[in-house]
Structure 1
Amino acid sequence: MEGEGAAAVRGGDEVVFAELAQRYRWELRVHCYRMVGSFDEAEDLVQETLLRAWRYRESFQGRSTFRAWLYRIATNVCLDFLDRRPRPLMPDEVGGPPEVSWLQPFPDRLLEPVAERAAEPETVLVARETIELAFLVAIQRLPARQRAVLILRDVLGWSASETGELLEMSVAAVKSALQRARPVLRAHLPQHHPGQAPAPVTALTGQERELLRRFMVAHERADIAAFAELLSEDVRLSMPPLPYLFVGRTDVAAFAENAMGPGSALHRGCWRGVPVQANRQPAMAGYLRRPGEPVYRAQVLDVLRVEDGKIVEITAFGPEIFAAFGLPATLP
């Protein structure tokens, strides 16, 4: 199809172009998301990629695949965006490493192609280790071009020559950029994270599903003691884009007490949790019905990272992200 479609695309055949572009839209969105760390911005950048591809369709000569051509455009769109909008890392309040304030979660329901595409040889498996929030935060600490090299080489498996051609770099420059990027990535990943050569793990484990169930029950009952039992000793809680970071079971449980305990303005409200998946991690969409209100309103989306049977990290996002997960703003 691609070989036959090259002339049609160059000739301005909108139907052929749309069919080819739609086949890769889902993975281009994942690629842009890894580059910028924001779901909303990735959506905009994919749209810009396809508009730019159509505008410059005559440059597609068919020497590479249509997919590789789109990746070249998408990567350059992201690099242009990052060049226009430098990303200063935001210092947290406890003196730890700077936080990625623009971070947003990615709905698992959008991580796979449609069923008929899944069996194609070129389909990219979105492995957990390359989409987890911890990985996203770590690669945001790399300069943009090093980030692109690492994603193309270690995540997508492109060769050094393919990467160099896409980025207009020599093979030696690609190898040098990768050698500089890998140690930085490893330094900022959790201790048990593999860092490269990820295993193709996508599904939640039974342990993760059970911890998520207990997490939701503890919230719905405002049971701070039950909540604390689920946490590791060195658990971290962050709330991008807010500059708050709580580290350790005692501090995280104290925050939960302030948010849901008897002294909280929310204590008399009723919580309801909806299980979801984000970035191949268990997550809860939390809804709150305040006293006197007839409905539960979207409040928070908590994404959990689990290790050794405990929650080691909670990343809490605001209700503005619910729509991307297909979640309603209210529940009856």
Structure 2
Amino acid sequence: MSADTRRKRPSETRLDEVDEPAFSELAEQYRRELHVHCYRMLGSFEDAEDTVQETFLRAWRRRETFEGRSTFRAWLYRIATNACLDRLARHRPEPATGGEVLWLQPYPDHLLDELPTGEADDPETVAVARETVELAYLVAVQHLAPRPRAVLILRDVLGWPAKDVAEHLGDSVNSVNSALQRARAGMREHLPAERQDWTGGEQDAATRELVRRYTEASVATDIGALAALLRDDVRCSMPPTPGLYVGREAVVRDWVESGFEGMTGLRAVPASVNRQPAVAFYLWQSEEGAYLPLTLDVLRVTGGAISEIVTFHGDRFPPLGLPDRLPADGTQ
């Protein structure tokens, strides 16, 4: 294939005439945004990785079906969405009794930073600005049935017209509009009522100070100091471990019963995932002569207090780019 052909827009090129390296080059520029799209659909970083790979494989095998009536990007989104729906059809996990999404996994901000910035009205820019990668949003989305979930993300996150969504999902416009209404109603049931008060983005000085105090109190295992930072209606969960604790009293009681108070040998590293503040904790292991990954706490801050703590296990550290150990002096 000539250089001139390689430089053409995908919609102007017959993909069945493109070789595999050139096709991969075209597709790879959309990998991150497709990964985030699949992550919103599935709630799992690892499942999103697998689904993007499946998307690229399907796209290559079906490249002759691309007729240029839509953009190459939209065509890939259609394939990715259907790949997600197929995955959910094979195995759709259900939220736990308390509403926890046990398959939920965090998404590192440094990878979200790879999303294209585009123009001010670029759909992906709007999506990130509207905090549709925060954990509370991800949890709410996972409570929706797969098809309304897809419609909601395509319409409200990506900003696609109902006609385009209907065409890509093989539905009527009326069906898409009906699914969107159901999805929006479901989201209102599961999103925090005060969501407008905790939009993410750049953390202000008060939030940074709150996170600093939380970090210091955690390392010191000072439950009294930690309790003072929590809202009365704080929620705490630890996917994939079942269990949801609601209210300051219940959370503190769990900390006491788990033996957290009096624990020694903790170190902390600040982190940022899902556009939320987070703290990675390491525990001293004498046989290793180092601090090893323990847990990652992702915080939601509302009205100057911590309203939610989602704690992930130490196995999430590698995908987040966190150190796999800290030396004895605590440096990274």
Q: Could you list the runs of 5+ residues in structure 2 that have no partner in the other structure?
A: 1-6, 328-332
Q: Distance in 1 between matches of 2:136 and 2:226?
A: 22
The aligned counterpart of 2:4 is none
2:235–2:307 contact (8 Å) kept in structure 1: yes
Q: Distance in 2 between matches of 1:120 and 1:112?
A: 15
**What percentage of aligned pairs have identical amino acids?**
51
CA deviation digits over 1:180-232, x for unaligned, max 9? 1111110111011259xx98x53223222222111111111121111111111
CA deviation digits over 1:139-187, x for unaligned, max 9? 1111100000001111111111111111111111111111111111101
Q: How many residues were matched structurally?
A: 317
TM-score normalised according to structure 2 size: 0.90
RMSD across aligned positions (CA): 2.1
Local SS of the residue matching 1:259: coil
The aligned counterpart of 1:94 is none
Residues 259-278 of structure 1 mapped to structure 2, 5 A cutoff: 259-262=259-262, 267=263, 269-278=264-273
Local SS of the residue matching 1:69: helix
Q: Give the CA deviation at 1:89.
A: 2.2
CA deviation digits over 1:248-302, x for unaligned, max 9? 112212322333213xxxx2x3111111111111001110114565100000011
The aligned counterpart of 2:109 is 108
Q: Could you list the runs of 5+ residues in structure 1 that have no partner in the other structure?
A: 92-96
1:330 to 320, 325, 328: 325
Q: Give the CA deviation at 1:5.
A: 6.4
The aligned counterpart of 2:330 is none
1:63 to 69, 72, 78: 69
- Which has the larger displacement, 173-182 or 247-256? 247-256
The aligned counterpart of 1:137 is 139
Change beyond 3 A, Cα 1:15–1:124:
same
1:237–1:314 contact (8 Å) kept in structure 2: yes
Residues 1-332 of structure 1 mapped to structure 2, 5 A cutoff: 3=9, 6-7=12-13, 9-91=15-97, 97-113=98-114, 117-119=116-118, 122=122, 124-125=124-125, 126-194=128-196, 202-257=201-256, 258-262=258-262, 267=263, 269-290=264-285, 294-332=289-327
Change beyond 3 A, Cα 1:2–1:79:
farther
TM-score normalised according to structure 1 size: 0.90
Change beyond 3 A, Cα 1:5–1:165:
closer
Q: Distance in 2 between matches of 1:224 and 1:119?
A: 45
Change beyond 3 A, Cα 1:290–1:250:
farther
Q: Give the CA deviation at 1:67.
A: 0.4
Q: Distance in 2 between matches of 1:105 and 1:46?
A: 17
Q: Distance in 2 between matches of 1:160 and 1:194?
A: 26
1:39–1:106 contact (8 Å) kept in structure 2: yes
Q: Distance in 2 between matches of 1:164 and 1:5?
A: 21
Q: Distance in 2 between matches of 1:254 and 1:288?
A: 22
2:10–2:72 contact (8 Å) kept in structure 1: no
2:11–2:67 contact (8 Å) kept in structure 1: no
